[in-house]
Each structure stands twice: as C-alpha cells, then as structure tokens.
Amino acid sequence: MVEFRSDIDAALSGDGPIPKARVISWIEAATDSDLSTLSKLYRLTGEGYYRIQPELGRENDMRSDSAIPPRVHSGRRDRE
C-alpha cells in the first residue's frame, strides 16, 4: 500500500503522461483506502486528467458517482 501511495504522489507532482491502466489500478485498489489517498486520486483525475493516456473516460473518473464508493461519496454508511 505504501508504494501505491508514493506512486500517486509522484504522479501528482510530475508533469509527464500517466498510463491509464495505472490510474485504474489505483482507483480499484483505493476503494477501501483512507480519505487522504482518495483525495489525491480525485485531484489526479481532475487536475491531471489531460496527462492520463489514453483518456481515462467518465466511467473511471474519480469525480463520477460510479467511481466513488457510496460511503465516500455521500459521507453516510446507510447507502452501502
């Protein structure tokens, strides 16, 4: 998990292209992560969206409702 977080940090601080497959694997692995990691992924899919190659697509975008687990998106556990 530590390597996964440091990879996200490196992607956020870099300016080069980010492989789509890598971003998708981070999103999938982060569904049960802490809020800090989810926040970084949200920033990456927002601020760094243009760097993700090939294009990430709405279904994998952390900003879309489908990519965020209900308990994170709503802040309530009753939607789980």
Q: Which residue in this structure is represented by tokens 């497959």?
A: 21
**What is the mean pLDDT of the segment spanning 35-50?**
90
2-13 helix and 20-29 helix, angle to the nearest 10 degrees: 130
**What is the mean pLDDT of the segment spanning 48-63?**
78
The CA distance from 35 to 72, in Å, is 8
**pLDDT band for position 2 (50/70/90)?**
low
pLDDT score, position 15: 93
**pLDDT band for position 8 (50/70/90)?**
very high
pLDDT score, position 68: 47
Going from the C-alpha of 34 to that of each of 8, 29, 53, the distances in angstroms are 13, 11, 26
Total-model pTM: 0.67
pLDDT score, position 72: 44
**What is the mean pLDDT of the segment spanning 31-56?**
88
pLDDT score, position 4: 83
